[in-house]
Amino acid sequence: MLDIKFLRENPETVKENIKKKFQDEKLPLVDEVVDLDKKVRAAQQEADDLKKKRNEISREIGALMSKGDREAAEAKKEEVRANQERVAELDALQQELREKIKKDMMVIPNIIDPSVPIGKDDSENVQVEIFGEPVVPDFEIPYHTAIMEKLNGIDMEAAGRVAGNGFYYLTGDIARLHSGVLAYARDFMVDKGFTYVIPPFMIHRAVVEGVMSFAEMDAMMYKIEGEDLYLIGTSEHSMIGRYIDQMIDEDKLPLALTSYSPCFRKEKGAHGIEERGVYRIHQFEKQEMIVICRPEDSKEWFDRLWKNTVELFRNMEIPVRTIECCSGDLADLKVKSYDVEAWSPRQKKYFEVGSCSNLGDAQARRLNIRVKGKDKNKYLAHTLNNTVVAPPRMLIAFLENHLQADGSVTIPECLRPYVGNKDVFRPDGSR
């Protein structure tokens, strides 16, 4: 959410940013907010003037009473009562106008970084860099669920009977690989100096509204019936929510945190053949990284975060590339975002396995996360998040890139301590 003062003073800049995001239907909101803001300030000025006048009248009443002029004093008291009624009306009007302003401001997109490429949708995202050599083997690579089934590692049919589409049972070596990758990712981030956290997996609506746009909320979040609680779609939600209405001492920044959680998502809409299996599901687990920092440090942290994910995947011997999201593909709260994509030898293309985002002060403004500087001045923190690893999609990339012609799957050295020191998974279960 933007600063109302910034919008008031720079309405054309805000409109130009909306155009860059190809959301022209939101342009009228800028003028509406400017008009509402004028009315709020006018009402505030009138209320202040009335309160000042009321104080003057109160002094006059005291003088009249001391002179014994009760009739004139009563007349002045009536004037005070009328004054108070008008102030109450103005206070109610301001509250109503501010609610309308907030509603509009919540859907006006954040100002994107000048470096963000301009484009309508993800088809216009820009490749930044490739890491590792993408290889296509000389044998056919089955669909990822077929690889898992060969290793007795998945049961989607039973999951369908128990919970419906979008769920799975992982078993044996595949389940161990899933958990092993999460454990490795945790230790990898701790070694990078991040503090490990397991957060709540449910959050209040006020936190949901603070960390994401209304459109994302409707498309993603599961509401707990009869409770002011939502299942998190990513641990970023509860990790940032931890600091709602908090004042953080500047000397405690940056807060560099890595969190584990299950994630729950509606995943609305029809999906193609490449998004079945464990690619797009309603429940999965993820290791995340979160940073809360000073505004001047957020660009540096952005680069550090996405590079962590690249390093992790390269340690697992999976080729990846980074893609910069264009303006039209950025969620409204984001200032800048990179996707990390893994190579799929079967599809002969890359697919998304993580996303790194700088949200500027948007989440901090919505959640009132402030910092007390060493000079005692107060300001809004900047927040960033990035996927360390989300095993369902990672499993696809891992299995395709480590599959051998005989159906076995090799295990890179970094993961072996987390899977019983095995260096290979075989369909018959032998070492």
Q: Has residue 261 been placed in a domain?
A: yes
pLDDT at 431 over 70: no
Give yes or no: residues 150 and 57 share one domain.
no
Give yes or no: residues 12 and 130 share one domain.
no
Give yes or no: residues 9 and 146 share one domain.
no
pLDDT at 24 over 90: yes
Instruction: Evaluate whether 321 touches 423 at the Cβ level (below 8 Å).
Output: no
Instruction: Evaluate whether 223 touches 321 at the Cβ level (below 8 Å).
Output: no
What is residue 280's predicted lDDT score, i.e. its pLDDT? 80
Q: Has residue 115 been placed in a domain?
A: no
What are 170's two structure tokens? 């992982």
The pLDDT mean for the chain works out to: 93
Q: What is the pLDDT of residues 299-320, one digit of tens each?
A: 999 999 999 999 999 999 999 9
Q: Has residue 392 been placed in a domain?
A: yes
What is residue 384's predicted lDDT score, i.e. its pLDDT? 98
Mark 28-67 as b/e (b = at least 16 C-beta within 10 Å): ebbeebeebbeebeebeebbeebeeebeeeeeebeebeee
What is residue 275's predicted lDDT score, i.e. its pLDDT? 57
Q: Has residue 111 been placed in a domain?
A: no
Domain termination site, one of 70, 105, 140: 105
Give yes or no: residues 253 and 183 share one domain.
yes
Instruction: Evaluate whether 325 touches 122 at the Cβ level (below 8 Å).
Output: yes
Q: How many distinct structural domains can be found in the chain?
A: 2
Domain termination site, one of 40, 74, 105: 105
Instruction: Find the domain containing 298 and state its range.
Output: 122-425
Give yes or no: residues 144 and 57 share one domain.
no
Give yes or no: residues 95 and 129 share one domain.
no
Length of the chain: 431
Provide the CATH number for the domain around residue 23: 1.10.287.40
Give yes or no: residues 149 and 81 share one domain.
no
Q: Has residue 173 been placed in a domain?
A: yes
Instruction: Evaluate whether 392 touches 279 at the Cβ level (below 8 Å).
Output: yes
Give yes or no: residues 24 and 138 share one domain.
no
- Give the C-alpha separation, 260 to 188, whole Å: 13
- Give the C-alpha separation, 55 to 309, whole Å: 63
Instruction: Evaluate whether 253 touches 292 at the Cβ level (below 8 Å).
Output: yes
What is residue 413's predicted lDDT score, i.e. its pLDDT? 97
What is residue 270's predicted lDDT score, i.e. its pLDDT? 47
Strands 230-231 and 154-155: unpaired
Instruction: Evaluate whether 336 touches 383 at the Cβ level (below 8 Å).
Output: no
Q: Among candidates 178, 240, 247, which has minimal Cα distance to 211?
A: 240
Check residue 321 and report its DSSP letter. Answer: E
Residues 335-362: what's their mean pLDDT?
97
Give yes or no: residues 258 and 339 share one domain.
yes
pLDDT at 386 over 60: yes
Q: Among candidates 189, 184, 233, which has minimal Cα distance to 213?
A: 233
Q: What is the pLDDT of residues 256-278, one digit of tens each?
A: 999 999 999 987 554 555 557 78
Give yes or no: residues 246 and 391 share one domain.
yes
Provide the CATH number for the domain around residue 347: 3.30.930.10
Give yes or no: residues 315 and 396 share one domain.
yes
Does this model's pTM top 0.75? My answer is yes
Q: Has residue 358 been placed in a domain?
A: yes
Instruction: Evaluate whether 192 touches 308 at the Cβ level (below 8 Å).
Output: yes
Give yes or no: residues 130 and 83 share one domain.
no
Domain termination site, one of 105, 133, 159: 105
Q: What is the pLDDT of residues 128-183, one digit of tens each?
A: 999 999 999 999 999 999 999 999 999 999 999 999 888 999 999 999 999 999 99
What is residue 363's predicted lDDT score, i.e. its pLDDT? 96
Q: Has residue 374 been placed in a domain?
A: yes
Q: Has residue 282 been placed in a domain?
A: yes
Tell me which H or E stretch contains 61.
Answer: helix 27-67
Least trusted range by pLDDT, from 63-77, 136-150, 409-423: 63-77
Q: Is 10 helix (H, G, I), strand (E, B) or coil?
A: coil
